[in-house]
Amino acid sequence: MKILVCVKQVPDMESRFKVNSEGVWYDEKDLAFKLNEYDEFALEQAVRVKEQLGNTVDITVLSIGPDRVVEAIKKGLAMGGDRGIHIKDDHPWQKDPWQIASVIAAFARDKNFDLVFTGLQSQDRGSAQVGGILAELLGFACATTLVAFELNGDLVTVRQELDGGMCAILKFKLPAVVTCQMGLNTPRYPTLPNIMKARQKELLAFPVTNFIGPKNLAATERMYLPEKKGHGLVLEGDVNEVADRLVGVLKEKTTVLR
């Protein structure tokens, strides 16, 4: 069985963001990047399939982006992926989800993957589109927002989360693209020996131009910081003084301390 896991590297969401000089994306300088949280669930699930079925399973970890994304691929290999594919693109954010999915589809089309795992969405862009478009382009079955996944032969049973925590149970046959939601599993931490082993694993790089097909269907015209609507009081400084002030505010504005 051949599995593809598509991962993205995103900035730490606790960063202070600035807009870049073109005004269309965030400035990457001074940002720390990490593996997109939802993709960790995708990687973990792929590795569990391999543990279930043994060494007949081969896991490819793919990422599109500048050289920094190799770190994300290596984390995937240390978690249990078999080989890495780095599709080099210095400005991946200039591609809309349709183009990103088209690049992945162009890479994947003749490789006979049985199962493709992606995160539900990326933490920076949050479009939740790439998985669905990819399924359509490859002509695979598709299920999204998974909180449970089970494989029996070529039959997959999943729980897809709906609103309010309710789920739909779906069944389908491989090949399929599935997108993973928080809580699907608990992603493992790569162990030191596995991090060392991952260094020996195959990691191929290709220029994105090898896979370029259709043009963008949408473009980011502008990126900006939201207007601060927050009307609230901001308290900072010495914790003891702030605690005194907060108690004062709570006594004045609420009835809970009376």
Ligand X SMILES: Cc1cc2nc3c(=O)[nH]c(=O)nc-3n(C[C@H](O)[C@H](O)[C@H](O)COP(=O)(O)OP(=O)(O)OC[C@H]3O[C@@H](n4cnc5c(N)ncnc54)[C@H](O)[C@@H]3O)c2cc1C
Q: Cα(171)–Cα(54) distance, rounded to whole angstroms?
A: 23
- Distance separating the N- and C-terminal Cα atoms of the chain: 65
Smallest distance from other proteins to CB 186, Å: 8
Q: Which structure tokens are listed for 70?
A: 């190799």
Nearer to other proteins, 205 or 249 (CB): 249
Which residue from 74, 75, 95, 159 is in contact with other proteins, where contact means CB under 8 A?
159
Nearer to other proteins, 62 or 142 (CB): 142
Q: Cα(39)–Cα(24) distance, rounded to whole angstroms?
A: 25
Single-letter code of the amino acid located at 40: E
Q: Please report where in the chains the tokens 């080099």 appear, as a residue.
A: 88
Nearer to ligand X, 38 or 98 (CB): 38
Size of the site for ligand X (CB under 6 A): 4
Smallest distance from ligand X to CB 22, Å: 28
Closest CA to 151 of 61, 83, 51: 51
Contact criterion met (CB below 8 Å) for 136 and 105: no
Scan residues 200-229 and list those touching other proteins (CB under 8 A). 214-226, 228-229
Which residue from 106, 182, 203, 212 is in contact with other proteins, where contact means CB under 8 A?
182
CA R_g for the chain:
21
Which residue from 157, 188, 201, 203 is in contact with other proteins, where contact means CB under 8 A?
157
145 binds other proteins (CB under 8 A): yes
14 binds ligand X (CB under 6 A): yes
What is each CA distance from 60 to 18, 21, 72, 113, 203, in whole angstroms?
Answer: 34, 36, 13, 9, 10
Scan residues 163-182 and list those touching ligand X (CB under 6 A). 182
Smallest distance from ligand X to CB 161, Å: 6
Q: Cα(27)–Cα(18) distance, rounded to whole angstroms?
A: 6
Which residue's CB comes closest to ligand X? Answer: 14
Smallest distance from ligand X to CB 154, Å: 28
Scan residues 31-90 and list those touching ligand X (CB under 6 A). none
Scan residues 90-149 and list those touching ligand X (CB under 6 A). 120
DSSP for 115-167?
EEEEESS-TTT----HHHHHHHHHT-EEEEEEEEEEEETTEEEEEEE-GGG-E
Closest CA to 82 of 60, 63, 62: 60
Q: Cα(249)–Cα(233) distance, rounded to whole angstroms?
A: 10
Nearer to other proteins, 21 or 186 (CB): 186
Residue 219 binds which entry of other proteins, ligand X, none, with Cβ cut-offs from 5 to 8 Å by kind?
other proteins
What would the x/- binding string for other proteins be over residues 183 to 202, using CB under 8 A? x--x----------------
Neighbours of 12 (CB within 10 A): 10
Nearer to ligand X, 41 or 107 (CB): 41
